[in-house]
Amino acid sequence: MDRFLETFFNPVVMAQYTPDILAGVWVTLQIAAAIIVAGIAAGLALACLRSYGIRVLNVFIICYADIFRALPPLVVILILYFGFPSIGIQLSGPMVLFIVLAATLAAFAEEIFWAGFSSVEKGQWEAGIATGLGFTRTLTYIALPQAFRLAIPPIVNRVLAITKMTALGSAIGVSEILSSATTAQSFSGSATPLTMSVIAYLAIFLPMVAAARWLESRTAWKKR
């Protein structure tokens, strides 16, 4: 038992590397916030555009959403990070991570918001247009609020799943939590930094998972 504690909870190592891990937490939080804002905004914009029913545009939107839902983000990350410099586009690690995960979130968000729009009854659209609101205002004032409410639980789950993927940044040298921990692990020769990364992730995400569970149970209760 002592050896176990010494290996995974060594207080000296913990004290030494806490600043590094905290710096990693800060990087993770910043990138995650940017991903959430950009991804949801882009997804919502795409779903709104799709509701105008312009055929050519919709083919593009659907293909985009399908491709980014089907591709593993790590593949796209590696293509941008290792492939783009050779055509003269040099992107930093954090930038690549942000672009790919925001694009992935946008694809999922578009599908979720679109499902929300589809579930708004046709009569609502017709009534809005009949009162002279016009399509765009019907969309923003009538369809959007209803779609948004329906979309919240699945969006929250997806946001969680995708912000957790910021850990993939460790594969391209972004100094977020996991890469700070693995660096510290190889310097210290102790598994303690890995334990610290687990604790850091739990501190960030466990409250979010619990909140998502609460949100889901509340909406499920309302439906009954």
Partner 1 sequence: MDIFIDQFFNIEIMRKSFPLLLSGLWMTLKLCSAVILLGLIGGLFVALGNMSERRWLRWISIAYTDLFRALPPLVLLIFIYAGLPFAGINISPFAAVVIAFLLNNSSYYAEVYRAGLISVAKGQWEAAQSTGLTPAQTLIHVVLPQAVRNVLPDLLSNTVEVVKLTSLASVISLSELLYNAGMARSVTYNASPLVLAALFYLVLLWPLVRLVSHFQRRLAA
Enumerate binding residues for partner 1 (CB under 8 A): 3-4, 7-8, 66-67, 69-76, 78-79, 82-83, 86-88, 111, 115, 118-119, 160-161, 164-168, 170-171, 177-178, 181-182, 185, 190-191, 194-195, 197-198, 201-202, 205-206, 208-210, 213
Q: How far apart are the first and last CA of the chain?
A: 50
Lookup: tokens for 34: 């940017």
For residues 2 and 192, give the distance between their C-alpha atoms in angstroms, rounded to a whole number: 14
Dihedral over Cα of 42, 167, 158, 195: its sign: negative
For residues 209 and 223, give the distance between their C-alpha atoms in angstroms, rounded to a whole number: 21
CB of 218 to partner 1, least distance (A): 15
CB of 34 to partner 1, least distance (A): 17
- Closer Cβ to partner 1, 76 or 142, answer by number: 76
CB 129 within 8 A of CB 38: no
- Closer Cβ to partner 1, 48 or 81, answer by number: 81
Which residue is associated with the tokens 């290996």? 7
- Closer Cβ to partner 1, 124 or 131, answer by number: 124
Task: Give the helix/strand (H/E) hosting 65.
Answer: helix 55-70
- Closer Cβ to partner 1, 88 or 132, answer by number: 88
CB of 82 to partner 1, least distance (A): 6
For residues 8 and 75, give the distance between their C-alpha atoms in angstroms, rounded to a whole number: 32
CB of 76 to partner 1, least distance (A): 7
CB of 95 to partner 1, least distance (A): 17
